[in-house]
Chains A and B, each alone.
Chain A
Amino acid sequence: MNNKLPITRLGKFFSQDDFDINIQMGQEYLHGDLNMKLVLYRVDRQKTDNDDVYAEAGMDEIKFFPPVEFNALVKIEEPKNSTYTKGLMRYNEPGNMTLSVYITHLNDLGVDIRYGDYIGYADSEERLRYYTVTNDGRVTSDNKHKMFGYKPHYRNIICAPTQEGEFRGV
């Protein structure tokens, strides 16, 4: 058995080489043409000084690994006009952000995105909005995430906007 896990499907018509060249073409468009950059703040869960009982950290107490820039396809939902209670105390904040990122790209950068990590998205030249990962998209065992049923090639990561009291980057 050549492979630890015997992936033999489509081997005759769609090989690893074909898979790689498709990824390269996709990255050329996503990284080269669109070049949508985001910043990943991976929470250092060991060094973060959190509460013994609730595992909570206060403002600016979350320690994170060095921020990493990465490319992804970004889709942000419309802002929601909401209130906290009975039509009172209005708030309006961005909708959730869904990122589509190549698994290869994350492997090349040597990073992983986990539930609870933070991501910075440049709203403009002056403002970086922060989101927290609510679905890290690690489970990709579906047809949608596989290239022609060969193997997964991207992850969909869903993020929710976060408040400055929880995280505000560097």
Chain B
Amino acid sequence: MGIPKRKNMINVYGDKETYRGESVLKRRQELLDMITKSDSFLPDSILHDDLDKGMLDYIKETFKVVSDGVQIPVIEKILTIQRWGEFSANWEFSDGDGNVKLPFIAIIRKPDVQFGSNPAIQRTIPDRYQFHYATVPTWDGNQVGADIYKIPQPIPCDISYDITIVCNKFRDLNKINKIVLQHFSSRQSYTQVKGHYIPIVLDTIEDNTPMETIDGRRFYMQNYKCTMLGFLIDSDEFEVKPAINRAFIVNESLGGATFKRSYIGKSIDITLSTIISNGTTTTYSVGESITVLFNVSINGILQQKDLHYTYEPIFGGGSSINFNGTPLQGDVIVVSYYKGNNNKMYDQFGNELTVARETFTYNGTNLVFNVLQKISSIISITTNGLVEYSDEGYQLTGKDQITLTSAPVNGSTIELVYLY
């Protein structure tokens, strides 16, 4: 024997996307649709009674034998120990004595269901681990998200059945035997349970005909012993959990260090002191003397002096801000101020600086705003009380001009605090 050739990359379906004239993807979708419930993306449960029903349906559809012009009836229930139930299943074809008339076909299931030998699903994954089954988009009216559907590995199970035919004609035995051999010529036949193809294997054919009875009643009885290679899917084990929803949370962090704002070759040191509210105190100190107080904001919202807070300079400089209300615990308080040796500000050339505060109303078209003085440094620009940042919210486009980079709502109030 020569060395077997190694086959790489076996393409089962060839280069085409069709198999036997059918689109592979279409067929896959068909199979998926078959096992998916109509009202959700998850498959239906398959439990023992579903498998038994699948077997009953299979026998009823497959074992169609006509004897003396009448189809041999199949008792369409799995017979159990409740005696009254047996009669309810076969009264249609019982005689006056209450006995089932011959011929008939009955299905007897062995009560013990064994762990399965279905080759597709064996003991491969321990501990009922949940597998990803689908990601389903969700929309709650505000947020786009997704639910993650997970299901555990189906549990294989083998169920044994005796399909028994009781009749009084050899020809009927031949007919049913022909049907059985035809259907199991490839060892296994299939039934469909909630869209899943479930294999059935023919184990043995037994004859239990009481041939030796010379004085008693004679009839033929043959058992076709089959095993269904089923599996269990229990929807109670399914897991549907929301995936992580993406939310945009914007944190404005101004920092607490001194930084330098430059404009037209002049510069001035402005201090931003960040304090976290403890939820109880109304007075907060920046820890040093404030020469000129520019702004106080809470969580990025500008506070109005005397309305929201008061500041009393002591000998030209105080250090504490007194809020009229109590900031909530965790609120970020930012105090913007100039720290100097006296109550005057000078640039690096010794020129005294003055604070100016101007207010504009956005008219819906013009994003350019001209101020009355030549700007030395910008302390703050706010739109409806919300702080705008340099280059992001606005740009200096002239000595006495700023331009907003994006349009606010028509009628918005733009407040500009600057030094000149």
Contact = CB atoms under 8 A, between A and B. Distances in A.
A118 B82 CA distance: 11
A49 to B, nearest CB: 11
Interface string B47-65: 0010011001000000000
B353 to A, nearest CB: 91
B84 A116 contact: yes
A166 B83 CA distance: 11
B263 to A, nearest CB: 85
Interface in B34-89: 49, 52-53, 56, 77-80, 82-89
A166 B96 CA distance: 27
Contacts of A138: 96-98
A165 to B, nearest CB: 11
Q: Is the interface of A mostly helix, strand, loop or mixed?
A: loop
B91 interface: yes
B56 A48 contact: no
A53 B59 CA distance: 13
Given A116-B83, A117-B84, A132-B84, A54 B49 contact: yes
B87 A45 contact: yes
Contact of A55 (B53, B89, B96, B97): B89
B53 A53 contact: yes
A50 B85 contact: yes
Contacts of B84: 43, 45, 48, 62, 115-118, 132
A49 B92 CA distance: 18
Contacts of A118: 84
Given A45-B91, A51-B49, A52-B53, A57 B85 contact: yes
A45 B92 CA distance: 12
Contacts of A136: 98
B49 A53 contact: yes
A101 interface: no
Nearest to B96: A138
Contacts of A114: 87, 98
A56 B83 contact: no
A56 B56 contact: no
A166 B80 CA distance: 13
Contacts of B86: 55, 115-116
Interface string A61-104: 01000000000000000000000000000000000000000000
Interface in A109-131: 114-118
A54 B83 CA distance: 11
Contacts of A43: 84, 88
Contacts of B98: 114-115, 136, 138
Contacts of B82: 55-57, 116, 166
Contacts of A133: 83
29 contacts: A43-B84, A43-B88, A45-B84, A45-B91, A48-B88, A54-B49, A54-B80, A55-B79, A55-B80, A55-B85, A55-B86, A55-B88, A56-B80, A56-B85, A57-B82, A57-B85, A62-B84, A114-B87, A114-B98, A115-B83, A115-B84, A115-B98, A116-B85, A116-B87, A132-B84, A133-B83, A134-B83, A138-B97, A166-B82
Given A55-B77, A55-B82, A132-B84, 15 more contacts: A50-B88, A51-B49, A54-B77, A54-B78, A56-B80, A62-B84, A114-B87, A115-B83, A115-B98, A116-B82, A116-B85, A116-B86, A118-B84, A132-B83, A166-B82
